[in-house]
Chains A and B, each alone.
Chain A
Amino acid sequence: MINSLFSLFVFPGLFFVIFASLAFEYADRKIHARMQNRKGPPWFQPLADMIKLLAKDSLVPEHADRTLFKLMPIVALAAATASIMYIPLWRSSALYAFDGDLIVVFYLLTIPTMSLFLAGWSSTSLYSLIGAVRSLTQLFAYEVPFFIGLLGPCILADTWSLSGVAEYYTKTPAMMLVNVIGFAVSLTALLGKLEKVPFDIPEAETEIVAGPLTEYSGWALALFRLTLDVELFVGASLLAAVFLPFGFGLPAWAAFVVYLIRLLMVVALITLLRTLFARLRLEQMVNFCWKYLAPAALLQLVVNLCVKMFLK
């Protein structure tokens, strides 16, 4: 009982996720800055930002729906953090693994986007309305390639559980190389989910101020910003678990270090992609996702099915 409470709330539960997300936000911002030939923020910057926001006044617009406005950040943070229970981190079995937890993780990761939409909608400000509608439109574009990209390795491993995937690839590590296309597709779709350039259309600073988060301030904004960081951490863990599943069998501390290295690899790739590109327009993004990303994901699926049949 104490054990499960500890692992749910402290390690690798709530506290660990929050502090690890802040640490990876720092890594992302520092690498981004160094790539732009700048110095970058000090290590305590994300924590300082959170503390500063928590200390500020939280204003609710006059015509906004107060309950929905204040509830959305909490729902988003809860959903994003809860998905860590089903992702294998540095052991090949997650905290509460069961068959079909891939779907649950995927569903839990969709909830923050929905709450962003509802948050923007309930703010009733012009900029938030446009941002909310854009974030929903973007959801339609990247969801399908993301899921199909993640499904490929699972089909090869013959299981619907993420922990099952980790175990399969620990037994046959060579099969990791088959999933390269799926990795590229999922990484690009993850950029859309995390709303990072080139897909940061809902939060386009120079067009609609701050998108759905325009009217947020104080603790509500702090929780939303934390949700975006937790999504980065959880999304990177998910990708590391499905596409880079090595180092599970090592002793505890070594597996943890390898896990951090895997996470850093995925986060560094995300940062690189975010530095290289300009922001796309909404219809350009939807076109790109449906014309190139979804067929690539389907291609990966077909390749995996062929390999599976070949192995039988």
Chain B
Amino acid sequence: MITIGKMLRQVLSSLARKPATTRYPFEKAVMPPKFRGRLKFYPEKCIGCKICMRDCPSGAIEIRKVAEKQFESEIRLDRCIYCAQCVDSCPKKALDITPEFELAQLDRKNLVMVTKPDPSAISAKPQATTEKPA
């Protein structure tokens, strides 16, 4: 049965309902727990096999030796495609993903994340990334 204005009832009832808009950035968007956001590197678990470097589709991760059995990682956040293949490939589970996705920076140099194996303080660029508005 062809009518005109079939969506009338739906449209009028929407006037009374709360809009479906998320008021981002005033309302934060919460991502589910296993969301593929920024990577996290655990230097104490890394054995320097470099399988993650071999499997990365975009060459975003680099593992460097700083001392005997101590490795640091440099992850380029602008090259990473957040596929988490390195997380799956790592035999020692030294890489993990976090649900953090607000990674924009004004300067491209700030998108390089270095994680050093110093146990007292991880002097990673993540410190710099907290400068952006929360």
Contact = CB atoms under 8 A, between A and B. Distances in A.
Interface stretch (A34-42, A75-83, A98-106, A208-216): A34-42
A33 B4 CA distance: 21
Q: How large is the interface on A (under 10, 10 to 19, 20 to 34, 35 or more residues)?
A: 10 to 19
A40 B20 CA distance: 11
Contacts, number: 32
Q: Which 8 A-B pairs have the closest CB atoms?
A: A39-B21, A276-B5, A37-B14, A39-B19, A35-B11, A37-B20, A34-B15, A38-B19
B15 A35 contact: yes
Contacts of B4: 276-277
Contacts of B11: 35-36, 272, 275-276
Contacts of B5: 276-277
A250 B19 CA distance: 38
Given A276-B8, A277-B4, A277-B5, A36 B14 contact: yes
Interface of A: 31, 33-40, 272, 275-277
A37 B7 CA distance: 13
A214 B12 CA distance: 34
A97 B12 CA distance: 39
A37 B12 contact: no
B17 interface: yes
B23 interface: yes
27 contacts: A31-B15, A33-B19, A34-B14, A34-B15, A35-B11, A35-B12, A35-B14, A35-B15, A36-B11, A36-B14, A37-B14, A37-B17, A37-B19, A37-B20, A38-B19, A38-B20, A38-B21, A39-B19, A39-B21, A40-B19, A275-B7, A275-B11, A276-B4, A276-B5, A276-B7, A277-B4, A277-B5
Interface residues of B, number: 13
A40 B18 CA distance: 12
A202 B74 CA distance: 56
Contacts of B14: 34-37
Contacts of A38: 19-21
Contacts of A276: 4-5, 7-8, 11
Contacts of B23: 39
A220 to B, nearest CB: 33
A40 B5 CA distance: 22
A186 B20 CA distance: 34
A37 B8 CA distance: 13
Interface in B1-36: 4-5, 7-8, 11-12, 14-15, 17, 19-21, 23
A38 B20 CA distance: 6
A65 to B, nearest CB: 42
A33 B18 CA distance: 12
Nearest to A276: B5
Contacts of A275: 7, 11
B3 to A, nearest CB: 11
Contacts of B21: 38-39
Contacts of A35: 11-12, 14-15
Contacts of A277: 4-5
A271 to B, nearest CB: 10
